[in-house]
Amino acid sequence: MDEGQIYDRLAKIFHEVFEDDSVGLTPELTAKDVDGWDSLTHIRLILTVEKAFKIRFSTSEVGKLENVGDLVALVKART
Amino acid sequence: MRLNSLYSELQWLPRAPEDFAARLKAAIGSSETDVGRALQRLANYALDLNRLSKLASAIDKAKSGGRSLQPLQPFRLAVLSNSTIDMIVPAMVATAARHGIALEVIQPSYDQVAQEALAPDSRVNSSQPDAVLFALDYRALPLKLSPGDAEAASATVEGGIAYLQTLRDNIKSNTHALCVFQNFVPPAEALFGSLDRAVKGTLRSLIGEINRRLADFVTESGDVLLDVNALAETVGLAEWHDTQLWNLAKFPFAVEFIPLYADHVARTLAAVRGKSRKVLILDLDNTIWGGIIGDDGLEGIQIAQGDPVGEAHLSLQRFALELRQRGVVLAVSSKNDEGIAREPFQKHPEMLLKLDHIAVFQANWEDKATNIRAIAEELSLGLDAMVLVDDNPAERGLVRELLPQVAVPELPDDPSWYARTLAAAGYFEAVTIAQEDLKRAGYYQDNARRASLRSSAGGVEAYLASLEMTITFQPFDATGRSRIVQLINKSNQYNLTTRRYTEPQVIAAETDPEVFTLQVRLADTFGDSGMISAIICRLSQPGEWEIDTWLMSCRVLGRRVEHMVLREILEHARANGIRRLTGTYLPTERNALVKDHYAKLGFVKTGEDDSGASRWELRVEDAWPAAAPMKVVSHGFARPKETLSV
């Protein structure tokens, strides 16, 4: 799966999890930039991504995620 | 096929439609009177976590907008937990709608269990919840491992139970809430291996012991147990415990099981509110036997031991029979010629179900919705007490469409899973066993016999006299309590005010000197109907009793029990210097039956409002209602008596 496809699918997941269709995904986007992206929503986001791509991240990977670029790289490495 | 997807995906419920979000929007837009019903219909799909959250926010929005969620019944639940339940709470709110409850959850801050229970002004204690759920995980207990040291193990168990009791006692002294305890799920990891079960002081053995003690404690105290341990065992400990999610965010179990857990919480609350189902309606062909009796004949249907398909159907019959033994009423609805449909029950030696077990037998060519209505009518029970088990998807769809109140489980193609699917749905969840439950299936059959006698016996009075009835009056007491609570929470039709009370509230009524209570039993020549009526009167002002609650089982309609009850109330009123009785009729969807209850008993109407609620009054000195032909026994009051009235 190339990065473009991953971004497309992630955008849908973000819109659903944050219930906000206006969130635009860039590699630099972080939790600080999005309303409602707290620690619990972070877990919901990770769970939804794992389910959608049928992958499971390791505990340290989840902890180390800094921005959307990291997330895309992780997904890319696993799919 | 993963066997536990039956549970994790709630496979007894129909799949959610693709356009669920659009339907949710439409439901929210529906008129004031329909929004609760529309949300309940959507809740009856198998919803994943995302859809449950959406439904929950729709419910919250409707509630905060001040909209009525009728017929959903309000319930305020406080949840005490040592783990992260933020994703579980919305699932509980949405799932509660499936079970007829408009749930409000009081969720204190993370891991504040002891503080919330102990401080009288805590959020939980000051919110006056209907119930408190102790959603604790084994990691909340002070468990010290001491493998092989029985004495230390026993001290650890005592400490754990004492901790739970302290929490409970504090909640009880600050609120009228019912306490619901979930038990503890041991982790998947063993220390020694198989020995963990046998040796005292291992985690597995400590948790096992605490669960056993907790079950005893809950039974004695009148609290309610939520057997989460059984749930985890059913789906598998390795699936249940997601150690990564615990480490990351203190989630108590895998998110995959949140919808299942929420359903078990909701069905337990529904059982507390008396919303459990009462009747199991069985289809025949390819449901309780393999094949079609009309085509295959008595020799052709599959029902024998040794035939795998036959055994599959027999296991459904066995389960139905076990349900009947615990008080669930069985009925049959089948598209068949009646004579042919009855034949296997009468003649097939391997059939476990006999005609005697079936309270109402409907075999004809009418549609199933019509037949189910007829069954409900004959049993004097609501459609929301019914469950239909039918292998035919078209029939299931039709009944769901026309009679959404009836529960109709989806069934897998293979009959080997029928019984398990029906059991997994938990329609008949109970929180207590009353002696009456064990006899109930028989009552309905006796009623059918009484009805046939009535048609022959010429004259209602003569019929009533021929029943040789004995009516027994007592004040509320500990022995009758579980049945009283059940009646208060289950009776919908012959119920003037439909006020629901929890066990603690009933106990309070027993001891309150300003409250007069009556429990009423009836027996006749056909058998003992058990407790059939309950009354609560409160001293509303000097010389006046307000009838707070007057309810009666519909099993004894038309027996003039209500006249005898009034005579008894009047007698105690006179002895207590009461000069006036007042009563209220609060109309609901189900109690039109008693609209004229007070008028028929000679009360005078003193008011009525727009909702149809009416107020009634009776002057004690003028009231001498005629007796019905029955023997009256009255005991447990200040002055015992035994009289024969004719």
Q: Which of chain B's residues have a Cβ under 8 Å away from the Cβ of A43?
A: 245, 248-249, 251
CA distance to partner chain A, nearest, from residue B2 (Å): 17
Enumerate chain A positions whose Cβ falls within 8 A of a Cβ in B.
16, 39-40, 43-44, 47-48, 59, 62-63
Encoding tokens for residue B176? 């009228």
Q: Which of chain A's residues have a Cβ under 8 Å away from the Cβ of B50?
A: 16, 48
* One CATH from 3.40.50.620, 3.40.50.10860, 3.40.140.10, 1.10.1200.10 for A3-78: 1.10.1200.10
Q: Do B247 and A59 touch (CB under 8 A)?
A: yes
| Beta strands at B544-552 and B527-541: parallel, antiparallel or unpaired | antiparallel
B201-to-B143, B184, B215 alpha-carbon distances in Å: 9, 16, 19
CA distance to partner chain B, nearest, from residue A71 (Å): 17
Q: Please check whether residue B87 touches A, CB under 8 A.
A: yes
Which pLDDT belongs to residue B604?
Answer: 94
The CA distance from B8 to B190, in Å, is: 25
Which amino acid appears at position B580 of this protein? R
* One CATH from 3.40.50.1000, 3.40.605.10, 3.30.2000.10, 3.40.50.970 for B279-425: 3.40.50.1000
Q: Which of chain A's residues have a Cβ under 8 Å away from the Cβ of B110?
A: none
The DSSP code sequence of B483-524 is HHHHHHHH--SSBSS-----HHHHHHHHH-TTEEEEEEEEEE
Q: Do B86 and A59 touch (CB under 8 A)?
A: no
Intrachain domains B5-272 and B457-645 with the same fold: no
Which pLDDT belongs to residue A68?
Answer: 93
- Residues B5-272: name the CATH superfamily: SGNH hydrolase (3.40.50.1110)
Nearest chain B Cα to A47, which residue?
B255
Q: Which of chain B's residues have a Cβ under 8 Å away from the Cβ of A40?
A: 84, 86-87, 249
Which pLDDT belongs to residue B459?
Answer: 63
Which pLDDT belongs to residue B178?
Answer: 95
Q: Which helix (H) or strand (E) element contains residue B73?
A: strand B73-81
Domain extent listing, chain A? 3-78
Instruction: Give the residues of chain B that fall short of pLDDT 70.
Output: 1-2, 435-442, 444-460, 526, 638-646
B490-to-A29, B322, B495, B502 alpha-carbon distances in Å: 55, 22, 10, 12
Which pLDDT belongs to residue B458?
Answer: 55
B396-to-A17, B213, B337, B381, B400 alpha-carbon distances in Å: 34, 43, 20, 20, 6
- Span B519-550, pLDDT tens digits: 999 988 767 778 899 999 999 999 999 999 99
CA distance to partner chain B, nearest, from residue A77 (Å): 20
Among B455, B309, B493, B276, which residue's Cα sits nearest to residue B391? B309
Which pLDDT belongs to residue B448?
Answer: 60
Which pLDDT belongs to residue B550?
Answer: 97
Q: Do A39 and B255 touch (CB under 8 A)?
A: no
- Span A38-47, pLDDT tens digits: 888 899 899 9
Q: Please check whether residue B253 touches A, CB under 8 A.
A: no
Q: How many residues would you count in chain A?
A: 79
Q: Please check whether residue B352 touches A, CB under 8 A.
A: no
Architecture of the domain defined by B457-645: 3-Layer(aba) Sandwich (3.40)
Q: Which of chain A's residues have a Cβ under 8 Å away from the Cβ of B245?
A: 43
Q: What are phi and psi of B213, to 5 degrees?
A: -65, -40
Bridge partners of B81, per DSSP, are B135
Which pLDDT belongs to residue B644?
Answer: 42
Domain extent listing, chain B? 5-272, 279-425, 457-645
